[in-house]
Amino acid sequence: MLAAARALIEQEEYLPTLRKMLGACEDQLAAQGLPRPREAYREACNAPRPKDAQRWSHPAVYHAGRALGWYDLATRPESVTWPEFQRAYRDCCRRALAGEDLSIPAPPEPMPTPALSREEGAKRLHELRRQLES
């Protein structure tokens, strides 16, 4: 990020605006394989469940969404979640650029359910019908 800011300052005749500085920093993120913050936000908001089984553009997106909370991303208004996501994503990007391992945990294996015998299935069905009739 510092390199992007230095390069921009050296290229400009006058000091660059804050918008240009932020744009240069976002460009550097893209060069490192990290999506821009707005793209990351959309990806985190639109990812289906289970979140840890999705194909993320970068693990930083997953960790930022997880830090904010998937429920909050899905239920709270964008005016609230976008600034919070930006902070979480910025932190995750800083960690990723520092070389921290941001691997995504493997999704839990579904518990296999043993098949019922024909007699056990009939017994349970009879019990369910009895409960519904009461």
The SS3 call for residue 15 is coil
Structure tokens at 24: 């240069």
At 126 the pLDDT is: 92
Total length of the chain: 134
The string of DSSP codes covering 17-54 is PHHHHHHHHHHHHHHTTPPPHHHHHHHHHHPPSSGGGS
Residue linked to tokens 């969404």: 65
Query: Could you give the angle at which helices 59-68 and 37-46 cross, rounded to 10 degrees?
Result: 70
pLDDT in tens, the chain (134 residues): 566 667 767 777 777 777 777 776 666 766 678 898 999 999 999 999 888 888 999 999 999 999 999 999 999 999 999 999 999 999 999 898 888 988 888 877 777 778 888 999 899 999 999 999 87
Structure tokens at 12: 């400009």
The SS3 call for residue 7 is helix
At 73 the pLDDT is: 94
Angle of CA points 74, 58, 106, to nearest 5°: 80
At 1 the pLDDT is: 55
At 82 the pLDDT is: 96
At 32 the pLDDT is: 76
At 83 the pLDDT is: 96
At 5 the pLDDT is: 64
- Contacts of residue 107, Cβ cutoff 8 Å, sequence gap at least 6: 50, 52, 53
DSSP 108: P
At 64 the pLDDT is: 96
Can you give the residue ranges of every domain in the chain? 1-31, 36-105
